[in-house]
Amino acid sequence: TQDKPWGGRFSQPTDKFVEEFTASVSFDQRLAPYDIQGSIAHARMLHKIGVLTEAECRAIVSGLQRILDEIEGGEFQWSVALEDVHMNIEARLTELIGDAGKKLHTARSRNDQVATDIRLWLRDEIDRILAELTRLQTALLDLAEREADTIMPGFTHLQVAQPVTFGHHLLAWFEMLQRDRERLLDCRRRVNVMPLGAAALAGTPYPIDRFYTAGLLGFERPAANSLDAVSDRDFAIEFAACASLILMHLSRFSEELVLWTSAQFDFVELPDAFCTGSSIMPQKKNPDVPELVRGKSGRVFGHLMGLLTLMKAQPLAYNKDNQEDKEPLFDAVDTVRACLRAFADMMPHVRPKRERMKAAARQGFATATDLADYLVRKGVPFRDAHEIVGKAVRQAMEAGCDLAELPLAALQALCPAIGEDVYEVLTLEGSVAARRHYGGTAPERVRQAVEEARARLAQL
Ligand code: ARG
């Protein structure tokens, strides 16, 4: 009743449990700096259109700035009875500056206010996530440049397929993250639209200037429809989808690092500072960071599903259901940023074991396709070449040697077109160097691709 900003029409106090149950202040206080930023812009607009006097506007702005200091200094008294971040701040403002504080909520509702706060907050968070992405992508490019000549087995079905360069493999990760970056930037455009002015749902009779407020807050434009502005959270879902794709990519990346650090692969060494040991097995060094990132993808996918389900079948316009948007969104943001940060910090210290990678590429007949292509160049149809090489592989398996170790006579018995020059195509270096077309794995092409990628990264 009395103690609530909306108490006028109530004759009973709120049930204590319901008060706790319906409050969001425990988590939405995180939005406070954005709530204050939005309120300051709103007050300036109200002054511009003559609803607030110069003095009232000034009192509101300095009161809000003081509240921000109190919050940042940890002195602000948050009250569950005041339900959410918006009413906590408004109540404190009135306490500090008196009646002018009560005028701030003119031409506004918590419905457009909260939607505005989340968008301002998410816009900043997207920028922070993009900065972490940039760090990780840059680290990948640096490593790809250093490892342009390093040969490793490429896999399909996790079976050795064809030799590739490690630099090329790293650039595959770069490309995935580059698409993630484009998606985030695109999502940001739709986040950057201002709900403020929609009020509860129908707009307001005051002659508000939404374009002015939008300009103050750095929004691209005000939302075009008041009902839509306060009720949809598709921007949050879209962000969660972008975050999910990032985590999906990082989980693949993680899986490879986990495999590669095993004794069986032994392709890379992770820095000790990013691993932990076992409390029982003294020899262990576990790749915790990639494992945890792989695991955290699950919670972000969950948030995407949670938000979709939250919005499904909600009638227009605002419903209290929407209060449930924050925790999954906050956690998705924190998780994706932390995972990117961990990878960006770790990547410059990942040490490739070049000899091990190359030795692994020598196993599994990785240059068999090169032999088939060689036969094609000698005029053998590809299908026949495939069959001939299959036989050569079987002979090598039986002899326990590599294709390059089969004697020329044995190869010529399979196909007379084979000459002494066959041994050049059977080497790993020859195999990768031959794939020098755009998008290929040849060291020279990888070096060009790194340059091109640096330019694309700088553009976005
Ligand atoms: N705490 C609310 C939320 O998170 C703010 C908007 C409340 N609006 C309302 N009419 N109850 O969505």
DSSP 209-240: -HHHHHHHTT-SEE-S-HHHHHH--HHHHHHH
Give the other-Cβ count within 10 Å of 455's Cβ. Answer: 8
In the chain, the amino acid numbered 408 is L
Single pTM value for the model: 0.94
Report phi then psi at 316, rounded to 5. Answer: -65, 150
Look at residue 281 in the predicted model and tell me its pLDDT.
87
Contact present, 81 and 24 (Cβ < 8 Å) = no
Mean predicted lDDT score pLDDT of the chain: 96
Ligand 1 site-directed mutation target among 80, 84, 90, most atoms within 8 Å of CB: 84
pLDDT at 7 over 70: yes
Ligand 1 contacts CB of residue 113 (under 6 A): no
Which of 88, 98, 89 minimizes the C-alpha distance to 40? 89
**Average pLDDT of span 448-459:** 97
108-144 residue pLDDT tens: 999 999 999 999 999 999 999 999 999 999 999 999 9
Give the other-Cβ count within 10 Å of 280's Cβ. Answer: 6
Look at residue 99 in the predicted model and tell me its pLDDT.
96
Catalytic residue among 26, 62, 262, 278: 278
Place of tokens 């794995």: 441
Look at residue 339 in the predicted model and tell me its pLDDT.
98
Contact present, 117 and 217 (Cβ < 8 Å) = no
Question: Count of residues for the chain?
Answer: 460
Ligand 1 contacts CB of residue 24 (under 6 A): yes
Closest residue by Cα to atom 4, ligand 1, is 323
pLDDT at 153 over 90: yes
Percent of residues, the chain, with pLDDT higher than 90:
92
Spatial separation of the C-alpha atoms in residues 131 and 6, rounded to whole Å: 42
Ligand 1 site-directed mutation target among 318, 320, 321, most atoms within 8 Å of CB: 320
Q: Provide the phi-psi class of 78: left if phi over 0, else alpha when psi is between -120 and 50, else beta.
A: beta
64-113 residue pLDDT tens: 999 999 999 999 999 999 999 999 999 999 999 999 999 999 999 999 99
Where are any strands of DSSP class E within 83-228? 151-156, 159-165, 193-194, 221-222
* Ligand 1 center from residue 320 Cα (angstroms): 6
Ligand 1 contacts CB of residue 323 (under 6 A): yes
Coil, helix or strand for 107?
Answer: coil
Partner residues linked to 276 by β-bridges:
286
Look at residue 278 in the predicted model and tell me its pLDDT.
85
Q: Is the peptide bond before 332 cis (omega within 30 degrees of 0)?
A: no
* Ligand 1 center from residue 70 Cα (angstroms): 23
Ligand 1 contacts CB of residue 112 (under 6 A): no
* Ligand 1 center from residue 93 Cα (angstroms): 19
240-287 residue pLDDT tens: 999 999 999 999 999 999 999 999 999 999 999 999 888 888 888 899
Domain 111-198+224-357 has what CATH class?
mainly alpha
pLDDT at 449 over 90: yes
**Average pLDDT of span 4-24:** 92
Look at residue 2 in the predicted model and tell me its pLDDT.
57
* Catalytic residue check, 157: yes
Closest residue by Cα to atom 11, ligand 1, is 320
Which of 64, 60, 68, 80 minimizes the C-alpha distance to 17? 80
7-106 to CATH, choices 1.10.3470.10, 3.30.499.10, 3.30.420.40, 1.10.275.10: 1.10.275.10
> Which stretches within 314-415 are classed as H helix?
326-346, 354-362, 368-377, 382-399, 408-414
192-220 residue pLDDT tens: 999 999 999 999 999 999 999 999 999 99
Domain boundaries, the chain: 7-106, 111-198+224-357, 360-448
pLDDT at 11 over 80: yes
Question: In this structure, what token pair is assigned to residue 160?
Answer: 């050795």
pLDDT at 451 over 80: yes
ipTM for this model: 0.96
pLDDT at 1 over 70: no
Ligand 1 contacts CB of residue 84 (under 6 A): yes
* Half-sphere exposure (Cβ direction) of 228: Cα atoms closer than 13 Å: 8
Domain 360-448 has CATH 3.40.50.300: no
DSSP string, 14-71: PPHHHHHHH--HHHHGGGHHHHHHHHHHHHHHHHHTTSS-HHHHHHHHHHHHHHHHHH
Helix (H) / strand (E) containing 351: strand 351-352
Closest residue by Cα to atom 2, ligand 1, is 323
Contact present, 230 and 203 (Cβ < 8 Å) = no
Q: How confident is the model at residue 398 (pLDDT cuts 50, 70, 90)?
A: very high
Ligand 1 site-directed mutation target among 111, 117, 118, 321, most atoms within 8 Å of CB: 111
pLDDT at 3 over 80: no
Coil, helix or strand for 154?
Answer: strand
Spatial separation of the C-alpha atoms in residues 451 and 173, rounded to whole Å: 16
Rg of the chain over Cα atoms, rounded to whole angstroms, equals: 31
* Catalytic residue check, 11: no
Ligand 1 contacts CB of residue 165 (under 6 A): no
**Average pLDDT of span 373-380:** 95
Spatial separation of the C-alpha atoms in residues 233 and 238, rounded to whole Å: 9
Which of 305, 294, 307 minimizes the C-alpha distance to 247? 294
Spatial separation of the C-alpha atoms in residues 426 and 380, rounded to whole Å: 17
In the chain, the amino acid numbered 396 is A
Question: Pairing between strand 221-222 and 193-194?
Answer: parallel
Give the largest Cα separation in the chain, rounded: 101
Which of 5, 201, 191, 156 minimizes the C-alpha distance to 87? 5
Look at residue 84 in the predicted model and tell me its pLDDT.
98
Ligand 1 contacts CB of residue 88 (under 6 A): no
pLDDT at 394 over 80: yes
Q: Which residues have CB under 8 Å from 433's CB, separation 6+?
A: 442, 443, 444
